[in-house]
Amino acid sequence: QVQLVESGGGLVQAGGSLRLSCAASGLIFRITAMGWYRQAPGKQRELVAAITRGGSTNYADSVKGRFTISRDNAKNTVYLQMNSLKPEDTAVYYCSGSWQGSDYWGRGTQVTVSS
């Protein structure tokens, strides 16, 4: 059974930082492409950052230069370091993994950025 469990969300002031973690189990993490998505109230879920099994990354234009995605295959964990946070970054952040042709999702962690 594949499980993705996010942690690290919370309330932070604008300009602050948070680091999200996503612990994966039930899959071969080192060959799984991973990503972080977010969904703000009334908006569609959008890709924030992704990392391939080889370590290549891509980011949404809105977070380039502020967010960094990384992975630790020894810990089966993917991270999202978020710096210079803005109120518009407020959303539920979801971890996603693509493995054996299927997409898996965590339950999400709330990030709230106050102005």
* Res 43: pLDDT: 96
pLDDT at 27 over 90: no
* Res 83: pLDDT: 98
Label residues 30-61 b or e (16+ Cβ within 10 Å = b).
eebbbbbbbeeeeeeeeebbbbebeeeeebee
Written as six digits, the tokens of 31 are 């060959």
pLDDT at 6 over 90: yes
- Please provide the average confidence, as pLDDT, over all residues in the chain: 96
81 falls in which pLDDT band (50, 70, 90)?
Answer: very high
Looking at the chain, the whole-number percentage of residues with pLDDT higher than 90 is 90
User: Is the distance from CB of 29 to CB of 22 less than 8 angstroms?
Assistant: no
Report the DSSP beta bridge partners of residue 33: 98
Report the DSSP beta bridge partners of residue 112: 11
